[in-house]
Amino acid sequence: MSSHHTNPRSLLNAATRSLIERVERAGRPPMAVMTPLQAREFYDIGGPMLDLQPAPQVDRVEDIQIPARDGHAMPARLYAPRSEVALPVLLYIHGGGFSVGSLTTHDVLCRQLSRLGHCAVVSLDYRLAPEHRFPTAVLDSWDALNWLRQQGQALGLDTTRLAVGGDSAGGTLATVCALMARDAGLALCLQLLFYPGCIGRQDTASHHTFAEGFMLDKQTVDWFFANYIDEADRDDWRFAPMNAPDHSGLAPAWIGLAECDPLVDEGVQYADKLRMAGVPVDLEIYKGVVHGFITMGRAIPDALQAHADAGRALRAAFEVRDARSSRI
């Protein structure tokens, strides 16, 4: 990637550079010095300020609950366009380092994916660390995917056409769900991954190049992972999907990465790993933008391009499955 740049900040596009300068001038404290509750509140209020306003219109927005295996009722939100037929569905798992993020922080993105993907989107409020450490988020995500497969018809969804997606930590969880789905014989149409975390140790070149001054800094990454996982578990493939013993037979992947992101190298490596295993991969790298940009549509216009690309990938994946099932 771009690890040999003398000044990596010269890679940023104008909108992203301007945003970072505004954030630096505002002098906001890093999440790592906050309590998890403070960090969540801060992200719930501050995050949406960078996103599209007003939120895009979707015909149907409905709060639901999804049971986890231990009886916990997970809040979730269903988005869907008006439709005469049962819609395919994307389970969307939000980012936030397993520690922050909510239905609120990813509301605009889920509306966009529903509109542009011509599908239903179910956004999941899985349990967060440090109150709920690894592997709770994995199990919550997997339980939600299974519940949608089994109960989605009651919500008017076409559960034969199911996809899983997420950004950052949510991208990790979506990646892991795709691996678990393959092992359980649950056929997914697509795994839709925005800058997913894929490795157990943050030692790629991009982690060094973009460690400071690119929105997601090393201190925050370390804080997220300390909240979530024990050092001894960091090589578990349910945290580091690159370590899964076998990547063949997985659902096709659409992977959208940010060029100036500590996680960009592992995203490229994971795309390569999938391709080597024979999995169809569509990889997009958005130039000059940083980690988190897809929920910053007001500040970083490239987010709109990424939304459109992801929507197109969803439509295509669901149409392929639809054509296949109508021939059977």
Residue-wise pLDDT for 62-85, tens only, equals: 999 999 999 999 999 999 999 999
Q: Given pLDDT bands bounded at 50, 70 and 90, which one contains residue 328?
A: low
User: Could you tell me the two tokens for 318?
Assistant: 């669901």
Catalytic site residue from 125, 236, 261, 282: 261
Is 261 noted as a catalytic residue in this protein? Answer: yes
Going by C-alpha positions, the residue among 93, 100, 94 that lies closest to residue 30 is: 100
Per-residue pLDDT reduced to its tens digit, 132-165: 999 999 999 999 999 999 999 999 999 999 999 9
d(CA 214, CA 170): 20
Contacts of residue 95, Cβ cutoff 8 Å, sequence gap at least 6: 101, 106, 166, 167, 168, 169, 170, 171, 194, 292
Catalytic site residue from 51, 168, 207, 236: 168
Please name the residue that has the structure tokens 């295993």.
277
Q: What is the mean pLDDT of residues 22-30?
A: 91
User: Could you tell me the two tokens for 105?
Assistant: 């922080």
Q: Given pLDDT bands bounded at 50, 70 and 90, which one contains residue 28?
A: confident
Is 168 noted as a catalytic residue in this protein? Answer: yes
**Which DSSP state fits 252?**
P
Cβ neighbours around 277 below 10 Å, total? 14
Q: What secondary structure does DSSP assign to 4-65, as a single string?
A: T-SSGGGGS-HHHHHHHHHHHHHTPPPGGGS-HHHHHHHHHHHGGGGS-SSPPP-SEEEEEE
Catalytic site residue from 106, 207, 291, 307: 291
Going by C-alpha positions, the residue among 41, 99, 46 that lies closest to residue 224 is: 99
Which pLDDT score, from 0 to 100, does residue 102 have?
98
Q: What is the mean pLDDT of residues 37-41?
A: 97
Q: What is the pTM of this model?
A: 0.97
